[in-house]
Structure 1
Amino acid sequence: MQQLYRFQTAAHIVAGRNSIQALADNLHFTGIHDVKSVLIITQPSIKALGVIDDIVGQLSVKGIKADINTNVLPEPTVGNIEEVFQCIGNEHYDVLIGIGGGSVLDTTKIISVLKTNNNSIRELLGTDLVAKPGLPTILIPTTSGTGAEVTPNAIVTLPDEELKVGIVSKYLLPKVVIIDPMLTLGLPKPITAATGMDAFTHSLESYISNKANPLSDMFALESIRLISASIVEAYQNGSSADAREKMLFGSMYGGMALTCAGTAAVHALAYPLGGKFKISHGVANSMLLPHVMEFNMDAITDRLSQVAEPMGIQIRGSSKAEAAGRVVDRIVEWTKILEIPQDLRSFGVEENDVPALAVSASKVTRLLNNNPKTLTLDDMEAIYRKLLS
């Protein structure tokens, strides 16, 4: 039987500089034709920028009541999301608006289905366990990293297991996405670096994934091209609207790529670092990416060599092995330019933590099964140890 490829993403995408100013005019795309009340989910840092006031002003002109919740924490735990949900209580909202980084967008998705499904968050962990559609959502990313605005995934931290786990459901997909690069102009350098490398990891892992296919390849390669051309400039010149726009589109395409193909061992090994040591997801991915690619090299030389040109690497006259090696070299070069930490000890990780980290990572079978090579516990421990200098 011929292989079938499936792809589903956000229902409507509105993109362009200052597109946030058209938010109220796009409410009808949520499917609710007489919106009376919305809840805006965000974080204090976003609210302080004034953009929330602008949104509330747009809605007010149309007679729409807007409440604001800023209680989402970075890398939110099950408990944190439950607290946000409890704050809402029985209040009725027609639409939820999430504006922020991946933590906010994922929280908004989860809250939307908690409002319509009689389940706890833990009961929804896994794939296709959400029974009914959630409240309509509008997602607005303010970082160029997770691509969460276009994926059916939401990641939560389980402190008791010191691990991050995903909810995967078509019902997490938003009705409207607004992609406005102007919202990312004020990103601090460390966040630009970590989220940018996170987006690149999504695309590269999707391209070498066991589930890679023509649909995911299209998104992955364009994401790789855009991010490679702009990540250093966005880091060094954060006010460049052109670089920020390329990064935001690259991040979105990366989300679409992973929706088609899924990420792999880099993400699987990153989750325990975030769950136990609170290492931000983007930093953990950046640290692990070159080492996992080196481990996979004999299985991915051909695929990895194909991303050299989209990355802007000159490979004329080079063998596939040489081109693939230069891809890894470029990633290492980026981590230095972007000043991403390379020593797990700086986050409190010690040698005796490594076996437990490997055991935790081995539980993320949803992603490890996508990896081109099987990793044993010894393999995972060896990769972690490369980051203990």
Structure 2
Amino acid sequence: MLTLTSPLEMQFPSVIRFGEGTIGTLADWIKQKGYKAPFVVADDVNVARLDLLGLENVTCFGDVVPEPDIANMEKAVEAAAGCDVVIGFGGGSAMDLAKLVAVLVWQDVKFDDISGPHRALPRKVGLVQIPTTAGTGSEVGTRALVTNPETMSKVATESVHMLADLAIVDPTMTMTVPAMVTAATGVDAMAHCVEAFTSKRSHPIIDSYALQGIELVGKYLKRAVEDGADAEARTGLALAAFYGGVCLGPVNTTSGHAISYPLGTRYKLAHGIANALIFPHTLAANAPAAPEKTAKVCKALGFTGTTTPDVLAGARSFCEALGLDMRLRAHGVPEEDLASMAKEAHDIRRLLDWNPVDLSVADIEAIYRQAY
């Protein structure tokens, strides 16, 4: 773990507008920038409410799928031809695709030319991100993930050129999110914060954002699940997701996300629920290596975790109290696949190398079986 004197670079969108009603400022910003051909990347839910953006002459790719793959991304890039600003309008999948579309459109390059760290060329178009869930924090980040269907693994692309010119975080956009999606995406936001907080490369500056994000989830997530119209709770979760996105840039996630990824790539579980299913188990597995920080996480979530079994039971109870079924078997995951999933997850070294505990293939399989 890094110290306060360790160098750290943080990057944010050029403009961040946070709060109720900020969605209404988009159209004026587009006009002020002189954009004439806005292109929206959205899922099927948000396609139905494009009017909320207040834009003219807008075109849209509305076929974003959960856990998008390279083919889904390529269709979005093709549809974006002729645009001058790309707008991600949705959850993490829509915003991740918007980043990739923005650096690929008008460019004579393919995805393979930019995948990985720091390979994308400067973009030729503007980029706006508008989250409609409180989960991924993708609106504030430089990283995007899509699935390679041949390997069934997630490919991460990272570039400062995928950082938005404008991020609009308007909690009213999340008011209609169903209770179970609210629960799962909220746990995902928390997992971003927790994994960065306990990472080997955690930093005191990022720790501040991480702990605040965890506390916000502990305070507001159950309220938002029980009453989706609770404006204060929705705003608290939007801020928690934003803080989680801040944590992802310089620190990123660790074992929780690595172990959850096969659930999405193989069985198309939404990213939020995949992370929620794994969260209690990796929090407990890492507890012996980060006891003080784990105790702070547990306190923020409303329980005391003095032993590893206590941590697991408390974190699982927190998630179950949100109405989530925390059994892998309940989400269509075949038991016979757990061993191969463990090998696949163990290969995600870009995340697991920073986990506070060195998890073997057998350790990961044991986590899957415990969660099953």
Common fold: TM-score over 0.5:
yes
Structure 2: runs of 5 or more not aligned? none
Aligned to 2:71: 79
Aligned to 1:41: 41
Write the distance in 1 (CA, Å) between the matches of 2:180 and 2:17: 27
Say if 2:135 is the partner of 1:151. Answer: no
Write the distance in 2 (CA, Å) between the matches of 1:180 and 1:113: 25
Matched-pair contact (CA < 8 Å) for 2:66–2:268: no
Aligned to 1:377: 361
Say if 2:149 is the partner of 1:162. Answer: no
**Number of residues of Structure 1 aligned to a counterpart in Structure 2:** 369
Write the distance in 1 (CA, Å) between the matches of 2:77 and 2:208: 37
Write the distance in 1 (CA, Å) between the matches of 2:343 and 2:106: 35
Say if 2:17 is the partner of 1:24. Answer: no
Aligned residue among 49, 55, 77 for 1:59? 55
Aligned to 1:340: 324
Write the distance in 2 (CA, Å) between the matches of 1:131 and 1:355: 39
Matched-pair contact (CA < 8 Å) for 1:215–1:260: no
Alignment of 1:1-389 (within 5 A): 3-27=6-30, 33-48=33-48, 50=49, 52-55=50-53, 58-60=54-56, 65-88=57-80, 91-133=81-123, 135-313=125-303, 322=306, 328-388=312-372
Change (3 A) 1:354 1:311: closer
Write the distance in 2 (CA, Å) between the matches of 1:359 and 1:99: 35
Q: Which amino acid aligns with 1:177?
A: A
Q: Which amino acid aligns with 1:54?
A: L
TM-superposed deviation, 1:325 = 6.7
Helix, strand or coil for the counterpart of 1:291? helix
Matched-pair contact (CA < 8 Å) for 1:308–1:327: yes
Write the distance in 2 (CA, Å) between the matches of 1:19 and 1:131: 30
**Structure 1 residues 169-211: Cα deviation after superposition (integer angstroms, max 9, x where no partner):** 1111100000111111111112111111100100111100111
Write the distance in 2 (CA, Å) between the matches of 1:287 and 1:3: 34
Write the distance in 1 (CA, Å) between the matches of 2:307 and 2:123: 45
TM-superposed deviation, 1:324 = 7.7
**Structure 1 residues 133-183: Cα deviation after superposition (integer angstroms, max 9, x where no partner):** 352211000000000000111111122212222111111110000011111
Aligned to 1:318: none
Helix, strand or coil for the counterpart of 1:59? coil
Structure 1: runs of 5 or more not aligned? 316-320
* TM-score w.r.t. length of structure 1: 0.89
* TM-score w.r.t. length of structure 2: 0.93
TM-superposed deviation, 1:92 = 2.1
Matched-pair contact (CA < 8 Å) for 1:233–1:243: yes
Helix, strand or coil for the counterpart of 1:386? helix
Deviates more, 1:19-28 or 1:5-14: 19-28
Matched-pair contact (CA < 8 Å) for 1:307–1:327: no
Helix, strand or coil for the counterpart of 1:35? coil
Write the distance in 1 (CA, Å) between the matches of 2:245 and 2:272: 14
Change (3 A) 1:324 1:7: farther
Write the distance in 1 (CA, Å) between the matches of 2:335 and 2:191: 26
Matched-pair contact (CA < 8 Å) for 2:114–2:120: yes
For the aligned residues, what is the CA RMSD?
Answer: 2.0
Change (3 A) 1:312 1:345: closer
Matched-pair contact (CA < 8 Å) for 2:141–2:163: yes
TM-superposed deviation, 1:8 = 0.6
Matched-pair contact (CA < 8 Å) for 1:267–1:285: yes
TM-superposed deviation, 1:351 = 3.2
Write the distance in 2 (CA, Å) between the matches of 1:327 and 1:8: 33
Write the distance in 2 (CA, Å) between the matches of 1:323 and 1:348: 31
TM-superposed deviation, 1:275 = 0.7
Write the distance in 1 (CA, Å) between the matches of 2:336 and 2:262: 15
